[in-house]
């Protein structure tokens, strides 16, 4: 940093230009020193802008009309011309760039050579000092936080959180403890699983041994983190009081940081978890590092909540809130994927349903709809789909080898309805080879109306 500051300071004494020194850190060119403007951008992604072009090519460029350069990105005040030169290390490889931008037209004689030489000298000095600065922990945290927001599944969030925790802390392995899924709340206190982990290959045995620990001990660790917040170890458990953690130390754990995924949440919550980072070497983490890990866990928790909300909204948008069945949108998608000659459409109507609402009220009608939808779903085969497309109107979409098989499915639905104490009418149509699915649906409806006219409680195949 001091070498870059000194270089920029010397150059700025001889020109009013905005001068920046940018070094390659991870996936960006980070501005580590600048002069000549009130505000500059902190970093540019690799491959972007003139600076990205120069870094990739290792060759200086002079641009006298930035408005016509396809790579120009405005990173400060409006400018007219720009010179950018690579910072070359002793091996001849670019490690960054020196960039100069002028707001007003003026002679630039000698500046390309000056910046090129400055880049060479600065690169040599950086090599002597050990190369460009490493990514700071806060920069690591920011990079991983952005990656978490792009995760598309819960599992992806958990794995990315573990990977980030391991990298930010520098410890060997990270695991995420959560209550075992699909259990009753009282059972979750007894069953805790490692929902995700991210060890290096050499550290996998440590995680494997952790997975063999008594579930009660893991549950206690999860409970303590969620009830009392973050905790961390103070050194070698062989010389410090580690009572209560014998199972962990026996597994080889010498350093541990544990932070809750959802602070203040009871352990029985399905969304709770604890991010645990471990090492077989006795290291004393500082409190600032623990704070960064807490921020990471909070970000992971927020991302999980976002995904849960998106799933709920998607379900609400694509299903009937009363019965849980798909409605218009999913039904239209299923029709679009029908197979002519094999897809059968079964139009279903609850007989005399209006009388239920009229005599017993809409609450009773809703109970009938829920009961009927459950009965019909249970009567369908694996892969068959049932949709609610109207008040008491349902459609089953089934793939069958013949019309006879479709009629058998329809008869099973009629029998299932009778078992609830009510009856249904069903019209069946097999989509023709050249027939639009909407036309087949119309034929199924016409067959349904024919059943209604003939006394209800039956099945008819559309001609």
> For each of the chain's 463 residues, which pLDDT tens digit applies?
899 999 999 999 999 999 999 999 888 899 999 998 888 888 898 989 999 999 999 999 999 988 888 888 876 678 889 999 999 999 999 999 999 999 888 888 999 999 999 999 999 999 999 888 888 888 888 888 888 998 999 889 999 999 999 999 999 999 999 887 655 454 444 466 787 887 888 888 999 998 898 888 888 888 888 888 899 999 999 999 999 899 999 999 999 999 998 654 443 344 578 999 999 999 999 889 999 999 999 999 999 888 888 887 776 666 778 888 887 778 888 888 888 999 999 999 999 998 888 888 989 989 999 999 999 999 998 889 999 988 889 999 999 999 999 999 999 999 999 999 999 999 999 999 889 999 999 999 999 999 999 999 999 999 8
Please tell me the predicted confidence (pLDDT) of residue 181: 65
* pLDDT of the residue at 188: 45
Measured CA angle at 458 (ends 453, 463), to 5 deg: 70
Question: Residue 267: its pLDDT value, please?
Answer: 38
Phi, psi values for residue 66, rounded to 5°: -65, -25
Label residues 130-163 b or e (16+ Cβ within 10 Å = b): eebeebebebbbebbbebbeebeebebbbbbbbb
Contact 227, 212 (CB under 8 A): no
Helix (H, G, I), strand (E, B) or coil at 201: helix
**CA atoms of 99 and 377, how far apart (whole Å):** 67
Q: Is 387 helix (H, G, I), strand (E, B) or coil?
A: strand
3-state secondary structure of 109: coil
Residues 6+ away with beta carbon under 8 Å from 255: 171, 233, 278, 279, 280, 281, 282, 283, 284, 285
Closest CA to 300 of 262, 257, 256: 262
Residue 119 has a pLDDT of 94
d(CA 462, CA 427): 7
Please report the pLDDT score of residue 320 as a whole number.
78
In sequence order, the β-bridge partners of residue 33 are 21
Q: How far apart are CA 135 and CA 375, in angstroms?
A: 60
pLDDT at 262: 66
Q: What pLDDT score was predicted for residue 265?
A: 42
- Residue from 365, 356, 344 nearest 411 by CA: 344
For the record, the structure tokens of 73 come out as 């990105």
Residue of 97, 112, 114, 7 lying closest to 61 (CA atoms): 112
CA dist., res. 275 & res. 111, Å (int): 53
Instruction: Report pLDDT for 460.
Output: 94
- Per-residue model confidence as pLDDT tens digits over 375-406: 999 999 888 999 998 888 999 999 999 999 99
Q: In terms of DSSP bridges, do strands 458-461 and 424-430 run parallel, antiparallel, or are they unpaired? A: parallel
């Amino acid at each position: 940093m001091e070498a870059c500051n000194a270089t920029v300071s010397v150059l700025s004494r001889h020109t009013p230009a905005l001068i920046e020194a940018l070094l390659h850190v991870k996936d960006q060119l980070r501005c580590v020193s600048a002069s000549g403007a009130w505000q500059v951008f902190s970093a540019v992604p690799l491959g972007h802008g003139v600076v990205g072009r120069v870094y990739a090519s290792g060759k200086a460029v002079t641009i006298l009309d930035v408005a016509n350069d396809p790579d120009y990105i405005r990173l400060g005040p409006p400018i007219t011309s720009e010179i950018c030169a690579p910072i070359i290390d002793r091996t001849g490889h670019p490690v960054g760039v020196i960039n100069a931008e002028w707001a007003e037209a003026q002679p630039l004689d000698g500046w390309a050579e000056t910046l090129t030489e400055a880049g060479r000298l600065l690169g040599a000095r950086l090599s002597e000092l050990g190369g460009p600065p490493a990514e700071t922990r806060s920069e690591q945290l920011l990079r991983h936080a952005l990656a978490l927001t792009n995760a598309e599944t819960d599992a992806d969030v958990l794995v990315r959180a573990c990977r980030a925790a391991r990298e930010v802390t520098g410890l060997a392995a990270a695991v995420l403890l959560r209550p075992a899924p699909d259990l009753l709340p009282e059972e979750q206190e007894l069953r805790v699983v490692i929902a995700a982990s991210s060890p290096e290959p050499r550290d996998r045995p440590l995680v494997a041994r952790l997975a063999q620990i008594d579930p009660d001990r893991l549950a206690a660790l999860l409970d303590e983190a969620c009830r009392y917040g973050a905790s961390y170890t103070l050194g070698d458990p062989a010389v410090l009081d580690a009572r209560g953690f014998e199972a962990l130390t026996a597994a080889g754990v010498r350093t541990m940081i544990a932070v809750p995924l959802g602070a203040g949440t009871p352990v029985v919550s399905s969304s709770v978890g604890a991010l645990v980072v471990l090492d077989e070497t006795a290291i004393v983490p500082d409190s600032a590092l623990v704070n960064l890990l807490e921020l990471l866990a909070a970000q992971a928790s927020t991302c999980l909540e976002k995904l849960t909300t998106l799933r709920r909204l998607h379900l609400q948008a694509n299903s009937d809130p009363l019965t849980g069945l798909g409605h218009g949108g999913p039904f239209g998608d299923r029709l679009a994927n029908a197979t002519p000659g094999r897809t059968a459409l079964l139009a279903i109507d609850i007989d005399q349903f209006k009388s239920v609402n009229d005599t017993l009220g809409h609450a009773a009608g809703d109970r009938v709809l829920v009961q009927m939808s459950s009965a019909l779903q249970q009567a369908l085969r694996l892969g068959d789909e049932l949709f609610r497309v109207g008040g008491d109107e349902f459609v089953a979409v089934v793939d069958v080898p013949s019309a006879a098989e479709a009629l058998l499915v329809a008869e099973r639905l009629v029998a299932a309805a009778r078992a609830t104490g009510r009856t249904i009418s069903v019209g069946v149509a097999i989509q023709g080879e050249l027939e639009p699915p909407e036309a087949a649906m119309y034929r199924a409806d016409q067959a349904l109306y024919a059943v209604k006219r003939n006394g209800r409680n039956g099945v008819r195949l559309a001609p």
